[in-house]
């Protein structure tokens, strides 16, 4: 799946290999290549352009991280944008009604009947549902037969009315039957045509109006590329469907449909079919699909870790300030915020070997920082940058302003002074020559 696109993208990133940093010129060159790769994969022209424009803006605006290379950073940006393009978050199917009703739509041969079976199978096994499959294709006896065979295979009942040519009636009767039999999910397969057809649209619309389904899924063959996107648009204009199912992703698809459909119809892709077997169904996860397209998961997580870690530039800036004895309350509070960002304090501390057991029953929580923050926020900007001026009356004012006591304020200032002294010693220890010379 997507092999060609994956290869092409990987080659595009090579342009940045050996480059020291991301610039207008090397980004433009890389993205020209990326855009060509997308167009060759049958991605809609407008979608491809919008995509590369967004990636460009992000790449040029990105913070410089010295531990990752420009090529790696670009892989990460493209990965995230691919995921966004495909919808960002996974969107689940609505199965909350009783019975919940799911209506299928799509062209003949797109894989509707197969998908109906797969979905029933998934709901039965993974969601403990009791589905009823409904054969709504009144024109092709073979289609009814196909659904019956699938139903038998997965042990799910199939509702049919042979001879009845009214699919609306069949759907309504099936729902009645489901209520009687305690089936909490009704999956209605419908008739398709080889191409968009007015009568087919009217028929599905009539079923929709009559049974008011929670979900109308549009099933489309991903191998049909741009056509898939055009068909999706026409079905959506008429039916306002709730989600897309991409089938035959196991084949030699170029990926265009997967990448363009979401943007063009603004409806989530909910499932992908990856084979003819009943188990060959995946819930659609945009980020995982982006991983598969790029095939460079390790680089993506490397950049993620570097971005999550301490901000290097900020660390360098701080080090300079400490060395010059300029570390102030603004830096102190930004340190606290860094620590808070890392998550639960107790959890963090417990990761230090030997500490976990010792703090098990201790009361450390993130509120520990609350009064410290309140005190610092009650200082004037001048006091924060020049803690030396904090005399008795200023301390009293801060205590009142922050709702704490003068003792707490005194304690914090003392802690701050000690921290500052210690930090200075540590930075100087890294430079023994300076220490020996006693340079302050």
DSSP string, 304-336: HHHHHS--HHHHHHHHHHHHTT---HHHHHHHH
Q: Toward ligand GDP, which CB reaches closer, 89 or 145?
A: 145
Q: Which of positions 268-327 make contact with ligand GDP (CB under 6 A)?
A: 273-276, 280
Q: Toward ligand GDP, which CB reaches closer, 114 or 236?
A: 114
| Min separation Cβ 261 and ligand GDP, Å | 16
CB 72 within 8 A of CB 302: yes
Q: Which residue is nearest to ligand GDP (CB)?
A: 273
Distance, CA of 16 to CA of 13 (rounded, Å) = 6
Torsion over CA: 360, 363, 367, 371 (sign): negative
Q: Toward ligand GDP, which CB reaches closer, 72 or 236?
A: 236
Stretch that binds ligand GDP, among 11-19, 103-111, 119-127, 295-303 (CB under 6 A): 103-111
**106 lines the binding site for ligand GDP (CB under 6 A):** yes
Distance, CA of 209 to CA of 196 (rounded, Å) = 20
User: CA separation (Å) from 427 to 323, 331, 414, 433, 437?
Assistant: 6, 16, 20, 12, 15
Residue 389 burial by CB count (10 A; 0-12/13-18/19+): exposed, middle or buried?
A: exposed
Question: Which residue has tokens 């450390």?
Answer: 364
Element (H, E) at 189: strand 185-190
Task: Please count the residues of this chain forming the interface with ligand GDP, following the rule CB under 6 A.
Answer: 18
Q: Toward ligand GDP, which CB reaches closer, 222 or 404?
A: 222
Q: Which of positions 160-199 make contact with ligand GDP (CB under 6 A)?
A: 192
**251 lines the binding site for ligand GDP (CB under 6 A):** yes
**Interface pick for ligand GDP out of 113, 160, 242, 263 (rule CB under 6 A):** 113
x-or-dash string of contact with ligand GDP, 328-367, rule CB under 6 A = ----------------------------------------
Both tokens of 311, joined, read 């901000």
**Interface pick for ligand GDP out of 70, 71, 99, 111 (rule CB under 6 A):** 111
Distance, CA of 286 to CA of 295 (rounded, Å) = 14
**Interface pick for ligand GDP out of 56, 69, 76, 112 (rule CB under 6 A):** 112
**Interface pick for ligand GDP out of 29, 227, 250, 314 (rule CB under 6 A):** 250
Q: Residue ranges for the binding site for GTP?
A: 106-113, 189-193, 247-250
CB 16 within 8 A of CB 22: yes
**108 lines the binding site for ligand GDP (CB under 6 A):** yes
**247 lines the binding site for ligand GDP (CB under 6 A):** yes
Q: Toward ligand GDP, which CB reaches closer, 140 or 394?
A: 140
Task: Give Cβ neighbours of residue 88 (< 8 Å, ≥ 6 apart).
Answer: 286
Q: Residue ranges for the binding site?
A: 106-113, 189-193, 247-250
CB 87 within 8 A of CB 199: no
Which residue stretches of 68-165 are H helix? 70-85, 112-126, 141-154
x-or-dash string of contact with ligand GDP, 123-162, rule CB under 6 A = ----------------------------------------
> Where do contacts with ligand GDP occur on this chain (CB under 6 A)?
106, 108-114, 192, 247-248, 250-251, 273-276, 280
């Amino acid at each position: 799946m997507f092999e060609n696109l994956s290869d092409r993208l990987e080659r595009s990133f090579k342009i940045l290999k050996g480059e020291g940093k991301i610039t207008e010129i090397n980004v433009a060159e890389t993205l020209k290549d990326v855009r060509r790769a997308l167009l060759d994969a049958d991605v809609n022209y407008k979608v491809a352009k919008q995509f590369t424009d967004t990636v460009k803006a992000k790449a040029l605006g990105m913070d410089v991280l010295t531990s990752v290379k420009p090529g790696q950073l670009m892989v990460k940006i493209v990965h995230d944008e691919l995921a966004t393009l495909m919808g960002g978050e996974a969107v689940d199917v609505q199965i909350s009604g009783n019975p919940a009703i799911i209506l299928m739509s799509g062209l003949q041969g797109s894989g509707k009947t197969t998908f109906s079976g797969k979905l029933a199978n998934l709901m039965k096994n993974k969601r403990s549902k009791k589905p009823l499959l409904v054969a709504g294709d009144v024109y092709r006896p073979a289609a009814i037969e196909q659904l019956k065979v699938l139903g038998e295979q997965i042990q799910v009942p199939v509702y049919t009315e042979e001879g009845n040519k009214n699919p609306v009636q069949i759907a309504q009767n099936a729902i009645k039957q489901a209520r009687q039999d305690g089936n909490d999910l009704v999956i209605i397969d419908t008739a398709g045509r080889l191409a968009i057809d007015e009568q087919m649209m009217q028929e599905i619309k009539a079923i929709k109006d009559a049974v008011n389904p929670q979900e109308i899924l549009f099933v489309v063959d991903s191998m049909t590329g741009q056509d898939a996107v055009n068909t999706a648009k026409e079905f959506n204009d008429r039916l306002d469907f709730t989600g897309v199912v991409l089938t035959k992703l196991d084949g030699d698809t170029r990926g265009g449909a997967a990448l363009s459909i979401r943007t063009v119809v603004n409806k989530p892709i909910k499932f992908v079919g990856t084979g003819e077997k009943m188990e060959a169904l995946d819930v659609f996860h945009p980020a995982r699909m982006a991983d598969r397209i790029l095939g460079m998961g390790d680089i993506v997580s490397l950049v993620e870790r570097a971005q999550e870690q301490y901000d290097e530039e900020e660390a360098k800036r701080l080090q300079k300030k400490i060395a010059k004895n300029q570390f102030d309350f603004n830096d102190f509070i930004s340190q606290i915020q860094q620590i808070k960002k890392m998550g639960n304090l107790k959890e963090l501390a417990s990761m230090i070997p030997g500490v976990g057991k010792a703090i098990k029953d201790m009361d450390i929580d993130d509120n520990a920082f609350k009064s410290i923050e309140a005190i610092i926020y009650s200082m004037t900007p001048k006091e924060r940058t020049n803690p030396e001026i904090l005399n008795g009356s200023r301390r009293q004012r801060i205590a009142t302003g922050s709702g704490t006591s003068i003792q707490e304020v005194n304690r914090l200032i003392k802690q701050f002074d000690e921290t500052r002294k210690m930090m200075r010693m540590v930075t100087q220890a890294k430079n023994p020559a300076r220490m020996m010379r006693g340079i302050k």
